[in-house]
Amino acid sequence: MVVDPAFRVGPVRPRTFGSFVEHLGRCVYTGIHDPAHPSADVDGFREDVVELVRELGVTTVRYPGGNFVSGYRWEDGVGPLQERPARLDLAWHSTDPNTVGVDEFVRWARKAGVEPMMAVNLGTRGVAEALDLLEYSNVRGGTELSDRRRANGSEEPHAISLWCLGNEMDGPWQTGHKTAAEYGRLAAETARAMRQLQPDLELVACGSSASDMPTFGAWEHEVLTHTYDLVDHVSAHIYFAEHDGDLASFLAAGVRMDSFIDSIVATADAVRAAGKHDKRINISFDEWNVWYQDRAESRPPSGEDWPVAPVLLEDRYTVADAVVVGGLLISLLRHTDRVHAASQAQLVNVIAPIMTEPGGRIWKQTTFHPFAQTANLARGVVLHTALEAPTYESARYGTAGLVDSVATWDEEAGELVIFAVNRGIEESTELAVDVHIEGLHLLEATSYAHEDHTWSATADDDATVLPRPNGSAAVAAEGGGRGSRVTMTLPPISWNVIRLARG
């Protein structure tokens, strides 16, 4: 691998390290909000969750969905608690008591130090309701809705700048799903109206729900043709899982992530050229993760069973899952020129890096660690890297490199960080990096791996597998003042981080 600070992809964007809180399963209730918990604050939010969210390095949180938002009436979740109605949630066949709503979520976001990213309902609702929510949230006062917010205890505006115009509107599972033409027109009308109220908003139009949807590509083209001058980003959603024991393909998920991003960029740029637009539409990758959708825990209740906060989508992640998550973070960073925001789905309990027991313990899943390391260490700019590695053929994603890697360079601090995954299943791989920066020394080198790649964390043990120092890492000056050579042995099925500093 060759790294040169002159070759830059773009800045490391803090919003790349966003997350997602949906009214789904136990993400909100007994997740972030659990008034009976010993650590609960005056608003009922678990302080131990807030502490782990800060440690994770989350920057933005998308709310309140997800599929949930397409049937959501935001007014139900504001005002006195005793007056809030319980509603059926058609998306997840549950009942929402509306104990947590817009005001509570924003207060939680401030406590956690994250930027709220709000989604509006364009499934069962439309322009008027989106404007009402914007007025309630962002107008300082002097109107019925802004004064209602103040009366409800939020004197200052919520100042939410990043908004999603609906969610996965091409999905037949979506309440009120639409054709591309129907959604494109509604999104354009909503965006135009919202900008009349607040011109400087950042707006995200719905892309297709998944790369394997029959609508993918044509949907983005049609929607952006309607909305190009009115929105800033188009959304992307993708999930991965190990299928039929095909670990080699699963570890190569980043190959699919790369091609997915490239396809969306190509479509957006085609609309730009055809419409003779000046600006570029970028990507809000506001749902991504490992998710085992075929498992029993992903099946919602049915029939007359409409529970509050059922156990749903509570996947328990393995070491291999964490390595894949690390590879997806590499892909997002590599495309930082066009991926301007991202949200790992989701934050607590629901396909999440953080797990809780109602009223009880909290623990970190395996996927916590690559996210936390990347969010806390990636600074400055992302560099283009020239990487030569052996390849293998995966059944699902074609040719994949045995190693994938990306580097970030913080010129002001003089710190270079290399993130790398080894997709090799049985053998270690030697990584050699020629860095065109002189005088580097090693700050730390860690690997996240285990001889049993199926190991999962539990409430009883979330510390057996952690990022551990990798003693094989070394730095040597290259002759002729050409820079430094960094070497390290990458264990099989591993996530690796090398931190270097100048001087």
Tens of pLDDT, residue by residue over 86-101, are: 999 999 999 999 999 9
Average pLDDT over residues 292-304: 94
**What is the arithmetic mean of pLDDT over 362-390?**
98
3-state secondary structure of 50: helix
Strand ranges in 308-371 using DSSP code E only, listed in sequence order: 339-345, 354-356, 362-364
Give, as one character, the DSSP assignment of residue 108: H
- The least confident of 267-276, 423-432, 472-481 is 472-481
pLDDT at 481: 64
Question: Exposed, middle or buried, 316 (CB in 10 Å: 0-12/13-18/19+)?
Answer: middle
**Mean pLDDT for the chain overall:** 97
pLDDT of residue 479: 62
Around 461, how many Cα atoms within 13 Å sit in the side-chain half-sphere? 4
Boundaries of CATH 2.60.40.1180 in the chain? Answer: 382-502
The neighbour count for residue 88, using CB atoms within 10 Å, is: 11
| HSE-up (13 A, CA, CB side) for residue 252 | 21
Helix boundaries (H) for 120-214: 127-138, 144-151, 180-197
Res. 367: pLDDT tops 70 = yes
Q: What is the pLDDT of residue 32?
A: 98
Enter the pTM of the model: 0.98
Which residues are the active-site residues? 168, 287
β-partners of residue 468 are: 447
- pLDDT reading at 494 higher than 80: yes
pLDDT band at 480 (very low <50, low <70, confident <90, very high): low
Q: Which CATH number fits domain 12-378: 3.20.20.80, 3.30.70.1450, 3.20.10.10, 3.10.640.10?
A: 3.20.20.80
Once rounded to an integer, what is the mean pLDDT over residues 323-331?
Answer: 98
- Structurally, at CATH architecture level, domain 382-502 sits in Sandwich (2.60)
Give the angle 192-195-201 at the CA atoms, nearest 5°. 125
SS3 content of the chain, % helix, strand, coil (to 5): 30, 30, 40
Q: What percent of the chain has pLDDT over 70?
A: 99
- Tokens 């890492």 correspond to 473
Calculate mean pLDDT across residues 210-235. 97
**Which pLDDT band, with edges at 50, 70 and 90, does 346 fall under?**
very high
Give yes or no for residue 482 having a pLDDT over 90.
no
**Per-residue confidence (pLDDT) for residue 478, from 0 to 100:** 78
- Is 70 exceeded by the pLDDT of residue 455? yes
Average pLDDT over residues 251-256: 98
Chain position carrying tokens 């790649």:
453
Chain-centre distance for alpha carbon 327: 13
Distance of alpha carbon 12 from alpha carbon 335, whole angstroms: 10
The pLDDT of residue 447 is above 80: yes
Pairing of strands 18-20, 233-240: unpaired
Comma-separated ranges of CATH 3.20.20.80 domains in the chain: 12-378
Residues 17-40, mean pLDDT to the nearest whole number: 98
Q: Does position 155 have pLDDT exceeding 70, yes or no? A: yes
Helix ranges (H only) for 198-348 are 218-227, 247-251, 253-275, 319-334
